Amino acid sequence: MRNKKIVEVGVGFFMIVGLIAFALLALQVSGLTHITPQKTYELTAQFGDIGSLKRRAAVAVAGVQIGQVKAITLNKEYYTAIVTMEIDANINNLPIDSAASIKTRGILGDNYISIALGFDDAFLRDGDEIEETYQALILEDLIGQFVAGQISKTGGE
């Protein structure tokens, strides 16, 4: 009887450890790992097309994540996407002439924002806008242009 209770307690303990591990894995995969708020500042950028960019997508410089996308809204006057980014406060030396582009991880991966640093001595501050932007390359559009180009070269056959 005593051995049975020890086994039951052991199984219960491993079940609890397994559930905690599963919860931590789920948090890691979802991108919600920052339980304590970090100090950040906001930058905005306008893009003609953001592809499948989503909230919480990475913002990176030289492949290193320095922030994330906070919000995506529509500029109703020009019909462009306004992307608000949260940048880690310790990254406080991004030149004002930096450029933002939407890139894709791999061929079919998630979209993220890559910031190419400029050369100006003045730096972006909270609430500033990145003026120079490059919209996302949409794979389906490129394939469509290639196919249309091939059809027009063959005379529509």
Residue 119: pLDDT band (50, 70, 90) is: very high
CA distance 26 to 33: 9
For residues 1-6, average pLDDT? 83
* Residue indicated by tokens 């890139």: 103
Query: The tokens of 81 are what?
Result: 């996407």
Give the count of domains, the chain.
2
Q: How far apart are CA 46 and CA 112, in angstroms?
A: 14
Residues 74, 121 within the same domain: yes
Q: Per-residue pLDDT for 156 more than 70?
A: no
Same domain, 55 and 27: no
CA neighbor of 49 nearest in space, from 154, 135, 157, 150? 135
d(CA 25, CA 79): 38
pLDDT score recorded for residue 16: 94
Range of the structural domain that residue 26 is part of = 1-33
* Mean pLDDT score across all residues of the chain: 88
Least confident of 30-39, 51-60, 85-94, 142-151: 30-39
Give the neighbor-by-neighbor strand order of the sheet with 64-75.
129-130, 40-47, 80-88, 64-75, 58-61, 111-116, 99-104, 132-134
pLDDT of residue 137: 80
H or E element at residue 130: strand 129-130
- Between CA 6 and CA 82 the distance in angstroms is 59
In a domain, 51, yes or no: yes
Q: For position 39, what pLDDT does the model report?
A: 92
**Structure confidence by residue, pLDDT tens digits, 26-57:** 877 776 655 556 799 999 999 999 988 999 99
1 lies in the same domain as 77:
no
- 91/63 Cα distance (integer angstroms): 14
Tell whether 63 and 133 lie within a shared domain. Answer: yes
pLDDT at position 80 over 60 = yes
Structural domain contains residue 91: yes
pLDDT for the residue numbered 108? 74
